[in-house]
A and B are shown apart, each in its own frame.
Chain A
Amino acid sequence: MSSISARRLAKELAEIHSEGCPVGINLVKADDFTCWWFTIEVMGESLYQDEKFTLQFRFDSGYPISSPAVQFVVTDGKQAPIHPHVYSNGHICASILGNEWSPVLSVVAVCVTLQSMLASCKEKQRPVDNDRYIRHAPDNPKKTQFHYDDDTV
């Protein structure tokens, strides 16, 4: 792993430890600079009242130039939120994780974006192609070419 990505992640982790995460987001584990876990809750009125989801970040040596691989954890009884952009295997169809990723974004920024994505949801439903997608989905969501057709949801 290149030292640039490690130093950048060390800096972000130090900021999380000193300033804390935004409300509803909590760091679960960050034992190394390859895989971090957060819990994410939607605060206030929403379809996901009292639900708590676990978000996994995987980093490669290209971070922050290349985006982290982000998905919801669906093992050990954990569930992905039912949302038109979240597949039942935890993969997320969000443009900032793909072609709109920018190296100026951070782990916490991604968490906040996904939190607001859930908060603005109008109807709890899986993506229309959910069954077809999860049959052939790669392990790493970054290998999927999503079509970001609906950015408003």
Chain B
Amino acid sequence: MPSMANFNYVDGVNPNLLCCICRMPFNDPFTTQTCGHTFCRDCILQSLDHVYQCPIDRQALTADDLKPADSIIRSLVDELVVECTNQTCSHICQRQLLEQHLQSSCPYVEVPCPSRGCDQIMLRGEAVNHRCEYSLVTCDACDTEVEAAQLEDHRIQCYQQLTTCDLCGLQFQRSAKSSHQNSCPESPMQCPQQVNGCSWKGKRVALHSEHISSCPYQALSGFFSIFHERTQVLQDENTVLKRRVESLQTQIRTIEIQLQSASLALGPWFRNSNLGLSSPETSISDTLRSPDLPSHQRPRLQTVSSPRSVPEGDAFAAYFPPQEEIQSYERQQLSAMERPAPDRHLEHPVRSIHRNSWSLGQGWDALHTPASRTSKQVASAVAPLDFSCTLEGTLEGLRESIVALSTSMETLGRRNDIALTNETLRLNEELMSLKANIHGLRMQMHAMMMDNAQLTGRTDPLLFENSFPTVSTHRYHYMSNTQSATKL
């Protein structure tokens, strides 16, 4: 088989199993009896056509000196795993089994049509579904297999022949076989009311002559037909309802997911709207839409921190402590400079439900603490966040606080500016008077030094005229220092 030279080996091959001529694993290996070298049979025979020498050691060699290689070598190369030589086939197997695969099972091998007489060539994989005029088909009248092209001719003859019914012994033409099967009095039948529960079985003749007239189910056939009709209507209705429930379930699931994300985003306020829901006379939309709650609800909702009035308030009391708690907490913080308290609060069960509350609590903490720390007055002026109020109400309140804060900051800034200007003016004046004092002192000092120079007899007018007094004194000190240093 020429294609055998084109094996694709799946794994790496031991170099000792490679033929020196084709550099591939031995294919049908033969060994020289003279020098013990092994080659593929085809390779060494081709080489011997060229020159009567061993290609490796150039010893004289003829085809008679070759014998099949050792069975160990043969099995080593025969058991190497190769791909099927048909590119489209993904089959891999031992090399010795590939021929078998190609001959009998590879679906990509071209084979003739399995029907005798047809000379079409096709892939083996396609031959199973191949239909042609030579394909065998079964005659419906006599159950024999005939070629498709001859079926018509066969039927013309076959249909005319007489046949005998196995059950009733009646003789008829084969063409009438199927119609007789539907009317043979001896053929086994079941009661037509079987669907409604009749278990009678018997011959066709007995069915019509005996059973139908006495069958209790047959007597009720009118009822059954009405009953069936109604059942059908109910079934249809049920199907529609089932579909509706399914769509509603999906909608609920979507809404649940949306609600979950909304609750995550809202944090503690989400629970608050639940509180609104828990009172039967208030709908969720009422609580959400009207920032101004009906007056009778306000006092109740504002006492969230008291655990007696609202059970959930307990959880939030940790987050939003009343005024005294905040102040005591501050004192605690200022003295100990440790902050375990807020984190422990956040470990509360609520956190697992509203994960956002963690960052929210921190934000509140960060915003609120420094403001109250700067001045006790401000801290007491700002009320703690009221989580019992609606979200919109709280936001509105916060916005108002911010507006007020910015206004007061502006005022503060302006006041600061004025104070600063006043102070600057005052300082300027002081500076001027100091300057005048210094000038007077300088003049006095100058006069004193001139006197001193005249007394010691050292006149150095340049030094005094051109130099700034501070510089000259510095130089003077420096000189005296060096002098003393050299003396020492």
Q: Indicate whether A and B interact.
A: yes
Interface residues of A (CB under 8 A from B): 3-4, 7-8, 11-12, 64-66, 99-100, 102-104
Cβ contact of B23, chosen from A8, A65, A102, cutoff 8 A: A8
Residues of B in contact with A (beta carbons under 8 Å apart): 5-6, 20-24, 43, 46-47, 49-51, 53, 55-56, 58
Contacting residues, chain B, for A104 (C-beta < 8 A): 20-21, 55-56
Chain B minimum-CB-distance residue to A102:
B55
Q: Of B24, B43, B58, which contacts A100 at CB under 8 A? A: B58
Contact call A102/B56, Cβ cutoff below 8 A: yes
Q: Is the CB of B47 within 8 A of A7?
A: no
Contact of A103 with B58 in the complex, beta carbons under 8 Å:
no
Q: Are the CB atoms of A102 and B5 closer together than 8 Å?
A: no
Closest residue of chain A to B24 (Cβ to Cβ) is: A7
> Which residue from chain A places its CB closest to the CB of B18 in the assembled complex?
A11
Q: List 5 A-B contacts (CB under 8 A).
A: A3-B5, A3-B6, A11-B23, A65-B49, A104-B20
Give the residues in chain B near A103, CB-CB below 8 Å.
20-21, 43, 47, 55
Whole-angstrom distance between the Cβ of B50 and the nearest chain A Cβ: 5
Which of chain A's residues have a CB closer than 8 A to the CB of B24?
7-8, 11
Q: What chain A residues lie within 8 Å of B58 (beta carbons)? A: 100, 102
List the 7 closest pairs (A to B, CB-CB), nearest first.
Answer: A104-B20, A103-B21, A102-B55, A104-B55, A103-B55, A11-B23, A65-B46
A104-B43 Cα distance, complex, nearest whole Å = 11
Distance (Å) between the CB of A146 and the closest chain B CB? Answer: 16
How far, in whole Å, are A3 and B43 apart by their CA atoms in the complex?
13
Q: Do the beta carbons of B5 and A4 come within 8 Å of each other? A: yes
A7 touches B21 (CB 8 A): no
- Total A-B residue contacts, Cβ distance less than 8 Å: 39
Instruction: List 9 other contacts, CB 8 Å, given A99-B51, A102-B55, A103-B21.
Output: A3-B5, A7-B6, A7-B22, A8-B23, A64-B21, A65-B47, A102-B58, A103-B20, A103-B43
Q: Are B46 and A12 within 8 A (Cβ)?
A: no
Evaluate contact between A8 and B56: CB separation under 8 angstroms: no
Minimum CB–CB distance for A44 against chain B, Å: 30
CB contacts (< 8 Å) of B55 on chain A: these are 102-104
Chain A residues whose C-beta falls within 8 Å of the C-beta of B50 in the assembled complex:
65-66
CA distance A3 to B49 in the complex (A): 19
- Give the distance to chain B from A110, nearest Cβ to Cβ, in Å: 15
A90 to B46, CA, bound (A): 30
Please give the distance in Å from A150's CB to the nearest CB on chain B.
20
CA distance A65 to B20 in the complex (A): 11
CA distance A11 to B46 in the complex (A): 20
The interface residues of chain A lying within 8 Å CB-to-CB of B53 are: 102
| Minimal beta-carbon separation of A65 from chain B (angstroms) | 5
CB distance from B454 to the nearest CB of A (A): 95
Chain B residues, CB < 8 A from A4: 5, 22
With both beta carbons as reference points, the residue of chain B lying nearest to A11 in the complex is identified as B23
Expressed in whole angstroms, the minimum distance between the Cβ of A144 and any Cβ of chain B is 18
CB-nearest residue of chain B to A2: B5
Q: Which residue of A lies closest to B6 (CB)?
A: A3
Q: How many whole Å from B296's CB to the nearest CB in chain A?
A: 90
In the assembly, what is the distance between CA of A100 and CA of B50, in Å?
Answer: 12
Cβ of B45 to closest chain A Cβ, rounded Å = 10
A4 to B50, alpha carbons, bound, how many Å? 16
* A53 to B381 CA separation, bound complex (whole angstroms): 98
Q: How far is the CB of B59 from chain A (nearest CB, A)?
A: 12
Bound CA span A99–B22, Å = 20
CB distance from B94 to the nearest CB of A (A): 21
Name the B residues within 8 Å of A3 (CB-CB). Answer: 5-6
A12 close to B5 (CB less than 8 A): no
Measured CB to CB, the closest approach of chain B to A100, in angstroms, equals: 7
In the bound complex, CA of A7 to CA of B50 (Å): 20
Closest CB of chain A to B1's CB: distance in Å?
13
Residues of A within 8 A of B22 (CB): 4, 7-8, 64
- Indicate the member of A7, A12, A65, A99 with the most B CB atoms within 10 Å: A65
- By a CB distance below 8 angstroms, the chain B residues around A64 are 21-22
Residues of chain A within 8 A of B6, CB atoms compared? 3, 7
What are the residues of chain A within 8 A of B49 when measuring CB–CB? Answer: 65
**CB-nearest residue of chain B relative to A65?**
B46
Contacts A3-B5, A102-B55: A12 and B47 contacting too (C-beta < 8 A)?
A: no
Q: Give the shortest distance, in Å, between B226 (CB) and chain A (any CB).
A: 81
How many angstroms from the CA of A103 to the CA of B42 in the assembled complex? 13
Residues of A within 8 A of B5 (CB): 3-4, 7
Interchain CA distance A11-B5 in the complex, whole Å: 13
